[in-house]
Homo-oligomer: A and B are copies of this chain.
Amino acid sequence: MTAEKKKLLLAVTPGTYGPILEPSVEEEMAALCSLVRAPEDIGKMTPERYARLLAESGAEIVVTSWGSPKLTLAALRAAPSLKYMIHLAGTVKAYVEKEAIEAGLIVTNWGGAIARTVAEAALMMILCALRRVTAYQMELHVRKGWRSPHDNEVRSLFERSVGIHGLGTISKELIRLLKPFGVRIEAYSPHAPDSDFEELGIIRQRSLRDLYAGNDVISVHASKTSENHHIVNTEILAAMKDGAVIVNTARGAVIDTEALVAELKKGRIQAAMDVFEKEPLPPDHPLRGMENCLLLPHCGGPTPDRQVDMGRQGLRNLKRYIAGEPLDAVITPAKYDLIT
């Protein structure tokens, strides 16, 4: 007796097919489920029209990604077959109401599948800030010069101390990339259990100020929560060591940007920022032109060539779901607000 195939709705925008959802991944999903693609205008659907589509499809599983409509509690109530939402991206706030999860909808996201590319960006930004890469690009490409007055301040990462602000999947991947550099690592996280620190072989720092004051390199991986808004303020930045480096690949609002600009103006610390309080960064923003601050346009991860990992993670979870095995990266109501 063969069990009937579960119904799966691909509620993703046309741009998702290929870069995120490879043809081979979609084929595997179609072999496992009775698969239907949503209409091409899915990205423009109101929550109400999306709710009708979900109900009429009779789907048990829905796959979503960047640009998908928001799944409301009302939609879940109107679609009694719907049990599982495979979100291929990170933040789920824009794609599902917390109440739907509380009402029993299972939701998973990309988990650690793309974390490594953000960690890679963080490592690159740390190395660039220590070695003054932005200032050298200005010196060699723009001013047509060679040596700079800061040549003697170029630093290596080897044997330095690294402070990690926040301890989620990206931090864990970063710690893996940092290992060959023989660095001393401590992390601050009010949420992570002691066992996480023990398994990673790093030091638990219980004071945020001491984390910033005591390390040569700071990498920000804090969640976008109201308690973290501007948690890196004037006082925290002033506590940083001379010549220290701060890198942000998390969310812009974790740092008080005005305080950062003021601290950078002193020329005492180096920074590298991939995220900003306002994106795109305004053309006249004071960070522009500050040579002790590397700037990137929120492209830490996933890089386009590794967006396939998002689809592959979705497929792995689909297989687990069908086999009745535990899922990876389940978004509980408690986690809903924490993921950046």
**Complexed CA–CA distance, A50 and B138 (Å):** 42
Judge whether B127 and A283 touch: CB under 8 Å. Answer: no
Judge whether B131 and A134 touch: CB under 8 Å. Answer: no
Whether A121 touches B131, Cβ cut-off 8 Å, given contacts A294-B137, A303-B154, is yes
**Complexed CA–CA distance, A302 and B145 (Å):** 21
In the complex, chain B residues whose CB is within 8 Å of the CB of A224? none
* Interface hit among A6-14, A84-92, A164-172, A175-183: A175-183
Q: Is A147 an interface residue (CB 8 A)?
A: yes
Instruction: Indicate how many identical chains form the complex.
Output: 2
A309 shortest CB reach to chain B, Å: 9
Whether A140 touches B281, Cβ cut-off 8 Å, given contacts A123-B127, A153-B304, is yes
Judge whether B296 and A140 touch: CB under 8 Å. Answer: yes
In the complex, chain B residues whose CB is within 8 Å of the CB of A156? 117, 120, 301-303, 305-306
Judge whether B133 and A280 touch: CB under 8 Å. Answer: no
Judge whether A296 and B144 touch: CB under 8 Å. Answer: no
**Complexed CA–CA distance, A219 and B120 (Å):** 18
Judge whether B123 and A283 touch: CB under 8 Å. Answer: no
A242 shortest CB reach to chain B, Å: 13
Q: Is A24 an interface residue (CB 8 A)?
A: no
Judge whether B141 and A138 touch: CB under 8 Å. Answer: yes
Category for how many chain A residues contact B: 35 or more
**Complexed CA–CA distance, A176 and B182 (Å):** 12
Interface bits A261-299 vs B (CB < 8 Å: 1, else 0): 000000000000000000111011000110100111101
Judge whether A133 and B131 touch: CB under 8 Å. Answer: no
Q: Is A151 an interface residue (CB 8 A)?
A: yes
Interface residues of A in 104-144 (CB under 8 A from B): 116-117, 120-121, 123-124, 127-128, 130-131, 133-134, 136-142, 144
Whether A144 touches B301, Cβ cut-off 8 Å, given contacts A117-B156, A137-B134, A156-B117, is no
> Taking CB as reference atom, which chain B residue is nearest A157?
B120
> Taking CB as reference atom, which chain B residue is nearest A309?
B158
Q: Is A155 an interface residue (CB 8 A)?
A: yes
* Extra contacts besides A144-B288, A154-B305 (13): CB < 8 Å: A120-B127, A120-B158, A120-B181, A127-B127, A130-B303, A131-B303, A134-B137, A141-B288, A141-B291, A141-B295, A142-B142, A144-B283, A155-B304
